[in-house]
Structure formats: structure tokens, C-alpha cells
Copies of this chain bind each other. A is one copy, B any other.
Amino acid sequence: MYKILVVDDEEKIREVIREYATFEGYEVVDAIDGMDAIKICKEQDFDIIVMDIMMPRLDGFSTIKEIRKTKNIPVIMLSARGEEYDKLFGFELGIDDYVVKPFSPKELMARINAVLSRTKTNDKTKKENNYVYEDMQIDMLGRVVYIDNEKIELTPKEYELLVYLVVNKNIALSREKILNEVWGYDFYGEDRTVDTHIKMLRNSLGKYRDKIVTVRGMGYKFEE
């Protein structure tokens, strides 16, 4: 369950956000201004902060700056129409999104969801040249795979298949899609060819053979 900190001096706004966010299964904590938010953040951790820019005592930007000194939490800013708008673009602390007041509560929720799913799956999109999982390493530059620091021998197809599965880990891939992506769109062979190569790849992967999971009625996926 995700935990949201809502920072706004208007009670009505806090209430509306709380209502919708609670409904969607979030845990909501309120703060009435920046000072309050900083204090609360010292005690608790949040998955995301929704914060007004214009607030008494301490404005949203300064508050974020302060909080970010110790914690890297995604932030959605609320800003009045026109006001401060341009500041957001040049803002050196990475604001994840902004919503202009008056906003649609459902839209705000959609953005919160979007930011969370984006930040929570950030590591997925890291397109690195190396993939490391426990004792398995794939060196995509050298086209080599190591298990327990031992180089394992893979045929070209096995290697390509493995890389494709790993790059799309945790995604169920149909045989058709696998054929298209690994074999190419001009391959007109059987579906089941994939099965055979999965079989061989599994054998090559030794103790990691079960990382390749069968998705019945569909295809396969690499499960991390």
C-alpha cells in the first residue's frame, strides 16, 4: 500500500484528495504547510508527496529542497493557474509532475498513479549493457553469459532468446511475439520452435532454468 503526503493549506483540497486517494487504497497523511511537512517527513517515509506551491510560512519549492536533502521522494506540485508555472520547468529539483488548480481529482489520481508506476519500475528501464541477477551475469557487449563466474556456452539463438526474455523480464511474451522479435518478421515457421529453444536454453541455464517460466496458453517469460 502506497503512502501519500498531502501538503496544502486549504483544508477543502486536502479533504478531496484524501477522499479519492483513500478510495484508491492509498494511505494518506496531511500537512498544512511546509514546516509541518518537513517535520512529518522526519518521522515517516512516503512513496509520493503532493504539494501546493503557495503556502504560508514555507513555500513548496523550499520545502521540497529541504526534504530532498535527506530523502528522494517523487513529488507532484499543485500550482494555481499561471502562477509560478514557468518556474516548474526550470526547476533544478526534479519535480515529477505538476497539476494546475483547480484540478480534477480523478486526473490528480491518475498522475499520482503514473508517477508511482514510473518511479517504482525505474530499474526496469535501465538499459544497461550488463544484466546481473544473483550469480548470473549477461555481458551484452561481449555476448557472454556467466553463471557463478563460469562462462556458459550458448548457441546464438539461445543467447538472443535469453537476452530478449531478460530485457522484457516479468512480461508474459507470446510465442508469436518472441518469434517476431528474436527470429524476425520474415520467419514463417512453427510456433513450437520457440518451445524447443526454450528447452535448450533452460538446459543451458542450469540452476537458473526455472527463471524461464511457462505462461500457459500464452508463451513464456523471464521472472526475476
Write the chain B residue with the least CB distance to A156.
Answer: B217
Contacts of A19 in B (CB 8 A): 87-88, 91
Q: Establish whether residues B25 and A134, one from each chain, have CB atoms under 8 Å apart when the complex forms.
A: yes
Contacts of A98 in B (CB 8 A): 104
- Give the distance in Å from the alpha carbon of A118 to the alpha carbon of B171 in the complex: 24
A interface residues, how many (CB within 8 angstroms):
45
Instruction: Give chain B nearest CB distance to A9 CB in angstroms.
Output: 20
Contacts of A105 in B (CB 8 A): 91, 97
Write the chain B residue with the least CB distance to A97.
Answer: B104
What are 17 A-B interface contacts by the 8 Å CB criterion?
A: A19-B87, A24-B132, A25-B133, A25-B134, A95-B106, A96-B104, A96-B106, A97-B107, A107-B114, A110-B122, A117-B130, A141-B170, A141-B172, A142-B170, A142-B171, A142-B172, A155-B216
